[in-house]
Structure 1
């Protein structure tokens, strides 16, 4: 199967580092003109430089996904420069861990605003462009926490469950325009946000024991899925939440398979 994404245009939020950066670079290598967005100006400058070495037409913008005005501005600019918008990857997100009785209201608000409202605002702004084309791919970052929340992470889990449900509703709404909307649920993929690979060995082992494939995931695992979902090969997949977790808790005690005599 050959995935052909040549000359497509993709807008990616949270593209400055981690999973978002690797999604941006992977799509660029597939021939996509990438519009990279991130709230951190230094990060976006770095990834824009990397993208330019692959595709001189790629663009970079500093953007807070909570800012509807800035979103409208950059999409209009990108559409003028590149002529279309085919793919939106809502990767931007934040976390905040605390027991509910210690969770600041401001932390709750930021998590919901970035993870849920930011996804809503990006989708709202890009929909008219995709409707006019009568084609598009919207791909939203959920999390395994949307399926099974972690203790002391209720705000994050709530936001990602909302993204998953928003994805299903939006898929139904945009289906008549041949626009698919899907979400992905990463599991344990070490990033600068979660620091999984920096934990003590015993803690890492404890977490890996929850995986059917007992290894950390990689950002490439996510980027490969995004390339597929953005392609024509995924044209009949919409409204789905795709688990990319190495089979996290697929069985009750997956570690038993690794400790047999």
Structure 2
């Protein structure tokens, strides 16, 4: 099976660093024309470009964009359309985490979580959809979370936002289906990042988290990227309106760690 993404125009939000940067690098390595959106980018010397293994740099274009701002989103999408003519794939990766019990969360923090995590998906999809409709096809891939399946205590804002992304994905899938545009969401599990600090936790705390996984290891950004590359390809042309769990079997059974204790 060949997943041919050569010359596909791929926009990835929240791609200046972390998981988003790895996703951008992986799409570039597949031959896609990748445009990274983010609020700001690191020093160009630390850019999100990647080499092809032959010493040749595969460029990742950078466009400053605030996904929670309608004017910023439209300007960024117009810039890409003017440069490349269309957008074939949109990965709505940008997101923030807001923790706190319902009794303690300030309205501004709740609203910021919704504006970025849900509003960003809405605004980006709304801006990109006309380009895909004119082209007669496309892929929109939205970052949900395992928190949309099983939430945690003190995660009301984040879990509610990611659950909303799942339902928005389903509605978009049906509304855009007549133009052969697929829309799917994905739910990563536990990828150590600066935002969650999993890898810096004490060993006992890490073990408690790893014990919830059927595949008992931390997830990597490449595990996520592997799924997204498939969803962006022609091989996934009949998959739409779904939430794909890429969590390593987190809580697939009540106590998956028992299998490792035998």
What range is the shorter-chain TM-score in?
Answer: over 0.9
Give the direction of change, closer, same or farther, for the CA distance of 1:25–1:211 in structure 2 (3 Å limit).
same
Structure 2, gaps ≥5 residues long = none
Checking the alignment, whether the CA contact within 8 Å between 1:96 and 1:155 is kept in structure 2 is yes
Once the two structures are superposed, the pairs formed by residues 129-144 of structure 1 within 5 Å of their partners are 129-144=131-146
Distance 1:190 1:221 in 2: 12
Which SS does the other structure have where 2:47 is aligned? helix
Q: Give the number of equivalent residue pairs.
A: 259
Of the three residues 234, 237, 250, the one matched with 1:235 is: 237
Once the two structures are superposed, the pairs formed by residues 1-261 of structure 1 within 5 Å of their partners are 1-42=1-42, 46-50=46-50, 54-56=57-59, 58-260=60-262
Instruction: Give TM-score scaled by structure 1 length.
Output: 0.95
Distance 2:61 2:40 in 1: 15
Distance 1:34 1:118 in 2: 19
Checking the alignment, whether the CA contact within 8 Å between 2:24 and 2:48 is kept in structure 1 is no
Q: Which structure's residues are more often helix, by fraction?
A: 1
Give the direction of change, closer, same or farther, for the CA distance of 1:175–1:40 in structure 2 (3 Å limit).
same
| CA positional deviation for 1:41 | 3.1
Distance 2:257 2:233 in 1: 35
Which SS does the other structure have where 1:248 is aligned? coil
Instruction: Give TM-score scaled by structure 2 length.
Output: 0.95
Deviations 1:205-226 (A, max 9, x none): 0000100111101000001111
Checking the alignment, whether the CA contact within 8 Å between 1:16 and 1:44 is kept in structure 2 is no
Structure 1, gaps ≥5 residues long = none
CA RMSD of aligned residues (A): 1.6
Checking the alignment, whether the CA contact within 8 Å between 2:117 and 2:162 is kept in structure 1 is yes
Deviations 1:154-213 (A, max 9, x none): 110000000001000100000000000000000011112111111110000000010011
Checking the alignment, whether the CA contact within 8 Å between 1:15 and 1:47 is kept in structure 2 is no
